[in-house]
Amino acid sequence: MTKDEPTDAILAKARAGGRISPGEALAIYKSADFLKVMDAGRAVRERRLGASVATYTLFRIVNYTNACTAGCAFCGFHRPPGDAGAWTLTPEEVLGKMRAAAALGARQLFLQGGVNPGIPFDYYLRVLGAVKDEFGADMHIRAFSPSEIRGMEAQTGKDARAVVRELKSAGMDSVAGAGAEILSDRVRRELSPNKVTVAEWVRIMEACFEEGLSGSANIVVGSIETPEEVVEHLGVIRDLQDRAGGLLAFIPWTFQRQTDGFPLRRVPAREYLKLVGLCRLFLDNVPHIEASVLGMGREVGELALYAGADDISSVVIEENVLASRGLGTEGEARAFIRDSGFQPVRRDLLYRMQGRPAPPHPPDAHC
């Protein structure tokens, strides 16, 4: 039996469906017992989504270029444009990778690259069009982070909504809310000063949602961020979702070692699990919370399903940015979920469950 704590009343409010403030979220993150936060996160997940099912999906990541001007300190994938190690796939090469992935059962493409000003805007339209011409509406294309879309704005002189409208009519189905890391300008100035600012990230995601795309977003902890900045990030996400909707899922991630000299901090399991619980409690308007099995490993990933997460993120067929230690096949994903005590259900990037009717809108969502 754990002793009563001042944060117990906040957790009880969140369990009952009350919205917690950023100040209350900070109190939970800084001082609540992590087991109590997990328990509250699990209770809210069960109330909103049920207790029996955990989902997964299968998609192919294609990194279409590694040339990037952003130069984020944590990224070992990119090369400066013009570097001998920089490359860009042709639309035909992207298509070839998708044919191989489709043969393994993938019907979803995650298209992501660096910010490469050497690529003409027409290239993106041709890549999207080539995949759609071959696979039709059967292939869902999630593509482009706000940083990449800002690069397209600079190149075309068009605003984000006009750029997204063209991408959407060429075949883009949803947006990759990647590149958020920590939505605090203090952290971004330190780790990724050439990447989109917080205001730019929000502006471009909002433009995507206004144009009818949905997507996901993440947070990446394990560096110089403070608890206050973690809560600041969650507040940016919740406010964006209140205004524009569009986010189907939120994924708490941890930085992984990719470069020398990056101020990497090991995230203890209890900190990650508390963060998962807090995300479930604070983001009352985001339907799904995904556990990072890829980043935290299977044991912590399993426990995250008992802290408020309802999805194990994904079976990724290729990921150049981060070497995989996740789940390599659909069979492994299903066995992992079953061994964790849940019924595995495959979903797509729009969270439509295979063999099931569309999921109900969560009763206490604010969007």
Binding site for ligand SF4 (CB under 6 A): 68, 70-72, 75, 77-78, 114-115, 147, 179, 192, 195
Instruction: Pick the closer one to ligand SF4 by CB: 192 or 313.
Output: 192
Select from 138, 107, 52, 141 the least CA-distant residue to 345.
Answer: 52
Parallel, antiparallel, or unpaired: how do β-strands 140-143 and 214-221 relate? Answer: unpaired
State the CB neighbour count (10 A cutoff) for residue 189.
10
Rounded CA-CA distance 12/36 in Å is: 10
- Work out how close the CB of 176 gets to ligand SF4 at its nearest, in angstroms, rounded to a whole number: 11
Instruction: Pick the closer one to ligand SF4 by CB: 46 or 83.
Output: 83
- Work out how close the CB of 27 gets to ligand SF4 at its nearest, in angstroms, rounded to a whole number: 32
- Work out how close the CB of 144 gets to ligand SF4 at its nearest, in angstroms, rounded to a whole number: 11
Instruction: Pick the closer one to ligand SF4 by CB: 233 or 280.
Output: 233
State the CB neighbour count (10 A cutoff) for residue 62.
25
- 3-class secondary structure, 327: coil
- Work out how close the CB of 65 gets to ligand SF4 at its nearest, in angstroms, rounded to a whole number: 9
Backbone angles phi and psi of 218, in degrees to 5: -135, 175
Instruction: Pick the closer one to ligand SF4 by CB: 22 or 71.
Output: 71
Instruction: Pick the closer one to ligand SF4 by CB: 51 or 264.
Output: 264
Select from 55, 258, 61 the least CA-distant residue to 145.
Answer: 61
Are the C-beta atoms of residues 115 and 161 closer than 8 Å to each other? no
Dihedral, 190, 191, 196, 198 alpha carbons, nearest 10: -60
- Work out how close the CB of 84 gets to ligand SF4 at its nearest, in angstroms, rounded to a whole number: 17
Question: What radius of gyration do the chain's Cα atoms show?
Answer: 20
- Work out how close the CB of 195 gets to ligand SF4 at its nearest, in angstroms, rounded to a whole number: 6
Instruction: Pick the closer one to ligand SF4 by CB: 78 or 238.
Output: 78
Instruction: Pick the closer one to ligand SF4 by CB: 225 or 284.
Output: 225
Region of 340 please: left (phi>0), alpha (psi -120 to 50) or beta: alpha
Name residue 290's beta-bridge partners: 311
Rounded CA-CA distance 218/215 in Å is: 11
Instruction: Pick the closer one to ligand SF4 by CB: 259 or 354.
Output: 259
Are the C-beta atoms of residues 160 and 199 closer than 8 Å to each other? no
Structure tokens at 192: 């990724």
